[in-house]
Structure 1
């Protein structure tokens, strides 16, 4: 009798271990970033009201994306949902801004080793960024709300923004007196990059659910006692719209291997250098034929 009970106990333990090993989930996230206003460029004679409107609408489309997060107990893959675009939609402006935002890629997180791997494309070159996951000192709050039927708890963290993520730039406040002085002096040329600045720190608010006990989330967010279903940093909101647990078809959760291996620090320095070169190249450039930016 004792042997029978022992064997039943061991079978139960093995079943639970196997269930944990096979556990996998999929979450769909809608990411929206507030499109920047180009009011600070009103002194630039090259930017017509129609171009300004097209730029803002084009930016809005670029900054609204759908992502898929496939996860298990220890790792996850976060990737933009692939969509077919009509011919002509990939215009130069969208390609340039998309490149400045990292060019998409597959974000792999391993919470056991506290590391991540992400393949990025920047200005036609492929990189494989491998580094340690950021240490996020979350402050757990008591506030709760419902997201898709799951009870979620609030958590906040103050962090340094990535200087290579275009979404972190904030529009500079316009000084009307200085703008008027520029007009009076005839200095009307304005560089695009001069209208934005990078904040020293950003406050991030997350909503996580202990009902799905994995410390995963979108992008490089992790470390909470439950799956993160929403992220907000003031300009960007990432909200989970669908969750599927233990589907019959399992996704392959493995890091990408394409691209030149590089650390996050070296990648950031490479991007910043190229962006500065681009900025200087366009600073003070004389007016040329106006080019309409398509939607």
Structure 2
């Protein structure tokens, strides 16, 4: 049985590291890529199927995402690569992580920006979105000591009128006391360096961290477009599916 660390321990670590890591509004950038799809070792897998996975991994390796944050705000999104806009394999992988995620700690706001049906929308997310269980399991990532955290949550799917169960795993380091992470997977007492979204197949790993970035032109506030709730977003998705069925 895994022993669950007391949250107070991490609060102490967080406060201690905040003294060391005290560049008030300095900008930090984190580059993430995705772990390649595993190629099954089953000998019965057709040669063409294995070749297809290899092809997907080549495209997946071209997809890069960036988390940029200050002490109080963050934005996470896909790094645009216009020269690859005609590469179907790349676009198929990139669309999975194409939404932008914004977090504002001071005002306790968290949003996801996406394009739906030709309209740009800010989807309001719960600020404390995940109920994390922090374990004592550790490993080194880029020379940082990281702790494993896991969470599970239910999400009602209005289109199917059923509840889906999701899970995620994150490796975070209290050595960088910022509660941010890739694709909105955040809320831990340290920066998330690796994140696995379970059955979705989305699995980020850190490539590099750049501290004290100068002349950053990143916009930390969501675009000035319409805000909707997740429930409203689900209803819009149903409408989109219905419209696609009529075409």
Output the TM-score relative to the length of structure 2: 0.70
**What does residue 268 of structure 1 align with?**
234
Q: Could you tell me which of 104, 110, 113 is aligned with 1:119?
A: 113
8 Å contact 1:155–1:207 — kept in the other structure? yes
Q: Could you tell me which of 66, 70, 73 is aligned with 1:68?
A: 66
Q: Could you tell me which of 149, 152, 162 is aligned with 1:158?
A: 152
**What does residue 33 of structure 2 align with?**
30
2:166, 2:187 → 1: CA distance? 18
Q: Could you tell me which of 100, 103, 108 is aligned with 1:109?
A: 103
- TM-aligned CA deviation for residue 256 of structure 1: 2.5
Q: Which has the larger radius of gyration?
A: 1
1:132 corresponds to 2:130: no
8 Å contact 1:143–1:153 — kept in the other structure? yes
1:272-291 map, 5 Å: 272-278=238-244, 280-281=245-246
Greater mean alpha carbon deviation, residues 215-224 or residues 124-133: 124-133
- Distance change in 2, residues 1:199/1:54 (3 Å): farther
1:142, 1:87 → 2: CA distance? 43
Where does structure 1 differ by over 4 angstroms across 4 or more consecutive aligned residues? 32-35, 52-64, 161-164
**What does residue 191 of structure 2 align with?**
227
Partner of 1:267, secondary structure, is: helix
Greater mean alpha carbon deviation, residues 125-134 or residues 70-79: 125-134
- Distance change in 2, residues 1:138/1:268 (3 Å): same
Give the number of aligned pairs: 214
Segments of 5+ residues of structure 2 without an aligned counterpart are: 1-18, 39-47
- TM-aligned CA deviation for residue 135 of structure 1: 2.7
8 Å contact 1:70–1:77 — kept in the other structure? yes
Output the TM-score relative to the length of structure 1: 0.60
Partner of 1:22, secondary structure, is: coil
1:8-23 map, 5 Å: 19-23=22-26
- Distance change in 2, residues 1:59/1:123 (3 Å): farther
Q: Which has the higher contact order (CA 8 A, sep 6+)?
A: 1
Q: Could you tell me which of 161, 166, 172 is aligned with 1:208?
A: 172
**What does residue 41 of structure 1 align with?**
none
- TM-aligned CA deviation for residue 124 of structure 1: 2.2
Q: 1:101-132: per-residue Cα shift (whole Å, max 9, x none)?
A: 58x24321113333223321123222222343
**What does residue 202 of structure 2 align with?**
236
2:215, 2:29 → 1: CA distance? 11
- TM-aligned CA deviation for residue 253 of structure 1: 4.5
8 Å contact 2:122–2:225 — kept in the other structure? yes
Partner of 2:103, secondary structure, is: strand
1:29-108 map, 5 Å: 29-32=32-35, 34=37, 65-86=63-84, 88-89=86-87, 94=91, 101=96, 104-108=98-102
8 Å contact 1:213–1:226 — kept in the other structure? yes
8 Å contact 2:123–2:230 — kept in the other structure? yes
Greater strand fraction, Structure 1 or Structure 2: 2
- Output the aligned Cα RMSD: 3.7
